Chains A and B, each alone.
Chain A
Amino acid sequence: MSDMTMTVNGGNGGEAALSFHVTEDHHPENATLFGFWMYLMSDCLIFACLFATYGVLGREYAGGPSAAQVLELPIVAVNTTLLLLSSITYGFSVLEMQQNRRGPMMAWLIVTWFLGAGFIALELTEFAHLVSIGAGPQRSAFLSSFFGLVGTHGLHVTCGLIWMIVLLVQVGKKGLTAANKRRLMCLSMFWHFLDVVWVGVFSFVYLMGVLT
């Protein structure tokens, strides 16, 4: 950061006093990571709307089953463990990436993929069970908002899994280039962001739902 500021100041030389812009401000030449952060923030607003919908409709059972009757905490505990473990294995992958070790980096990414796939598989099993006992999204406002919120999160995780496969192929073919490292950091942010959303889901929907 400091050497860049020096270059800019040195380039302006004596004209610095006449410039009307702040030359000391730090601008990365590649703003992809910041742009991706802005995407995550807008995604955050989508989830905020879904959380608000669930907050309003979460107790409108329409004579159907309540959250405490249909939600099973043991499954959610396993799911949460899988997602949390996948977060730390992605962290290990990033650490290997920083060391320019392609093999271990890809190995940790594959471990992350399987943990994420396990999460999706368990979630789909849970959804199938709910639909089979007549607690599908069309049953009540509670179940509509539940499937809307949890399903959107699951869809994001699925997209993350597809993205992971694409990056594995790209890193496998081209190696740990600067572009691939940037993409891996974007996916890292995406993956950890989904974990943050899941913290809200298991707390607000599952734990508080079972208590009511």
Chain B
Amino acid sequence: MSDHAQHAHDDGHHDEAHDGVSEIHVSLKGYMTGFAAAAFLTILPFWLVMSGAFSKTGPADAFILLFAAVQIVVHMVYFLHLNAKSEGGWNMLALVFTIVLVVITLSGSIWIMFHLNSNMLPSMMPNPQNLP
């Protein structure tokens, strides 16, 4: 196929209707909403940590992870344009499966590895100051 023919072929609007690109609905409002939400969810935890408002205790970690989780959802919806109907729902299905694997990998690793310490023989115990 010559270069010219390729160009003419690609320019056709008939192709664009079925390539999936034109089915993605983007809008300035959507991007600005997502950006405002993401900026807020970024600045707040940074400010809380850098100003020293958070003490070095448990709830601070939980708050940071909560902000991160909400911000990831915001990015997925407003920037990655994910919804239950994109690609006939297969995008969402793949994402849910991935999240399941990610949660198993993360929580499983941390759970098992931190219990490993207490299951060791006393002579093999690491330096206590390195324990979490």
Chain A: residues with CB nearer than 8 A to chain B?
1, 4, 25-34, 37-38, 41, 44-45, 48-49, 51-53, 55-56, 59-61, 73-74, 77, 80-81, 84, 87-88, 91-92, 94-95, 98, 174, 177-182, 185, 189, 192-193, 195-196, 199-200, 202-204, 207-208, 210-212
* Chain B residues near A174 (CB-CB < 8 A): 7, 10
Between-chain CB contacts (< 8 Å), 10 pairs: A41-B94, A44-B102, A77-B46, A177-B10, A178-B19, A182-B21, A204-B65, A207-B49, A208-B65, A211-B56
With beta carbons under 8 angstroms apart, the residue of B12, B32, B109 that contacts A52 is B109
Shortest CB-to-CB span from A190 to chain B, Å, is: 10
B7 touches A32 (CB 8 A): no
Chain B: residues with CB nearer than 8 A to chain A?
7, 10-12, 15-16, 18-21, 23-24, 26-28, 31-32, 34-35, 38-39, 42, 45-46, 49-50, 54, 56, 60-61, 64-65, 67-68, 71-72, 75-76, 79-80, 87-88, 90-91, 94-95, 97-98, 101-102, 105-106, 108-110, 113-114, 130, 132
In the bound assembly, the distance between CA atoms of A187 and B26 in angstroms comes to 15
Q: Knowing A34-B87, A178-B21, A200-B68 touch, does A48 contact B101 (C-beta < 8 A)?
A: yes
In the bound assembly, the distance between CA atoms of A79 and B109 in angstroms comes to 29
If over half of A's interface residues share one DSSP class (helix, strand or loop), that class is named, otherwise mixed; here it is: helix
Return the 5 tightest CB-CB contacts between A and B, nearest first: A203-B68, A177-B10, A52-B109, A91-B31, A192-B79
Shortest CB-to-CB span from A1 to chain B, Å, is: 7
